[in-house]
Amino acid sequence: MSLIEMMVVVALIAMCTLWGIHSWRNYQQALKLEQSAQQLRLYLSGVQAEANNYNRSAVLWGIAGADGCVGTGTRPSDCHHAAGKIFATSESGVELLAVSEKIMGFYGLRNAALAGHITLKNSAGSVRIVLSVRGRLRTCSETQPLLGIGLCQ
């Protein structure tokens, strides 16, 4: 092999490596976003089960931002002063982008709910957790299909 052939091979290997690193980082970001969405959905399912078991209302509040959180009861001024069980974004780079402007929550009678949505976002995209009137929790991606999460319709 000549020097030029060797340099072409090294350049191709370098390009493939950079492409692989970029894809791996995107995959890691998508995985963090999906895990945060699943943790939030699990938290909301627990709040829903508690409201249903004790036949009481659980009105949700949310504070958007990089250190965002979601909880029930009285809304605090910020997430650091929140009391009780709350969901806080624990993954770095994942932020609570938006919470429904209207009141949303769970009601114990027949497992009903006030509909709304919560959106999580990072560099991989944004994921919305949707609460329907019948108390069904769904997860969908707003921009592109993300791992096992389909597009919002």
User: pLDDT band for position 85 (50/70/90)?
Assistant: confident
pLDDT mean across residues, the chain = 89
Confidence of residue 144 (pLDDT cuts 50, 70, 90): confident
Report CA-CA distances (Å) from 7 to 1, 13, 14, 129. Answer: 10, 10, 10, 50
Predicted confidence (pLDDT) at residue 79 exceeds the cutoff of 90? no
In the chain, what are the domains? 3-141 (3.55.40.10)
Mean pLDDT confidence for 119-127: 92
Rounded distance, CA 9 to CA 4, Å?
Answer: 9
